[in-house]
Structure 1
Amino acid sequence: MITGHRVGALPADHLTPDSTGTCYGDIDLIAVERAMNGQPVKLTVAEMLHAARLLSARGLDDAEVGRRLRQGRHAIGEWRRRNWAPPQAPRRTRSPESIDIGNAKHGRSGYMKGCGCQVCRDACAAYNLARKRRRAASADSNTAA
């Protein structure tokens, strides 16, 4: 059961978002309000950043914002330094040069052995596609029987 409050009956220290709506794009403002008041709630990254921005704008320090959102103060400081932008996933880069893989031939049977050259990547992709097709054909023949 969700408890409701009459207008004006909330505690004086109860924080609310600046909107009377229940959502703003993909941000659930009810969940944001609960998080702003320290209630345990599961938030998306966008909701967490929105709540942190609102709490910070109200003068709370990073430690208090982090306590309410169950994040570290260093994470809140990092979000502020990035101007409240969502975190970027680190990009994996592979060396395009081939490496010495012993007596093995590059591009053999889809096994890369740590090599990231284009020949090995193409062979691995072709092998994985063929394996996926074999499994699909096997599953189709098993269901038909």
Structure 2
Amino acid sequence: MNATRIGAGDRPRLYVSTTDTTDVTGDLDYIAIEHAINGEPVSLTTAEKVYTAQLLDSRGLTPTAIGRLIGSDPVTIRGWKTNGWQPAPTGRPHKASEAGRERAA
């Protein structure tokens, strides 16, 4: 019996790098990113997700399609793009009105 693996077929494989496995800072694992852009299951860090989303966006994929590949919400992907492909700050924003209340207490 012959079987075809899901995702296998005539679609060309996309490569992030032909020589490197990480970037110079070690923040990006190009092998994991390569798996993600080719639709293979992989866990990505936030930095890898942003980088992968930028690559896929430059190839014309929609935020919804990108989100399916990297495991992120399309709204988050649109936010990264709007923010120059930078992740949003984490944590609760500090409000000036709260700071005044803390000093008064």
> What range describes the TM-score normalised by the shorter chain of this pair?
0.7 to 0.9
Instruction: Please state whether the residue corresponding to 1:52 is helix, strand or coil.
Output: helix
Partner of 1:117 in structure 2? 103
Unaligned runs of 5+ in 2: 1-8
Q: What is the RMSD of the two structures over their aligned residues, measured on CA atoms?
A: 2.0
Q: CA deviation at 1:71?
A: 1.4
Q: Which runs of 5+ in 1 are unaligned?
A: 1-9, 98-115, 121-145
C-alpha displacement of 1:29: 0.3
CA change 1:13–1:75 in 2 (3 A) is farther
Q: Structure 1-normalised TM-score?
A: 0.55
2:55 matched residue in structure 1: 54
Whole-Å separation in 1 of the counterparts to 2:94 and 2:49 = 26
Which stretches of structure 1, 4 residues or more, deviate above 6 A after TM superposition?
none
Aligned-partner residue type, residue 103 of structure 2: C
The one-character-per-residue Cα deviations of 1:31-82 (angstroms, maximum 9, x if unpaired) are: 1111112222111111110000011111111111111111122211111111
Letter of the 1:117 partner, please give it: R
Aligned positions, number = 91
2:99 paired residue among 91, 95, 101? 95
Alpha-carbon distance between aligned partners in 2 of 1:44 and 1:15, rounded to the nearest angstrom: 20
Map residues 81-92 of structure 1 onto 2, 5 A cutoff: 81-89=82-90, 90-92=92-94
> Taking CA–CA contacts closer than 8 Å with sequence separation of 6 or more, which of the two structures ends up with the larger relative contact order?
2
CA deviation vs aligned residue, 1:93-144 (integer Å, no higher than 9, x gap): 43334xxxxxxxxxxxxxxxxxx227x6xxxxxxxxxxxxxxxxxxxxxxxx
| DSSP-derived class of the 2:87 partner | coil
Residue identity over aligned pairs, in percent, reads: 33
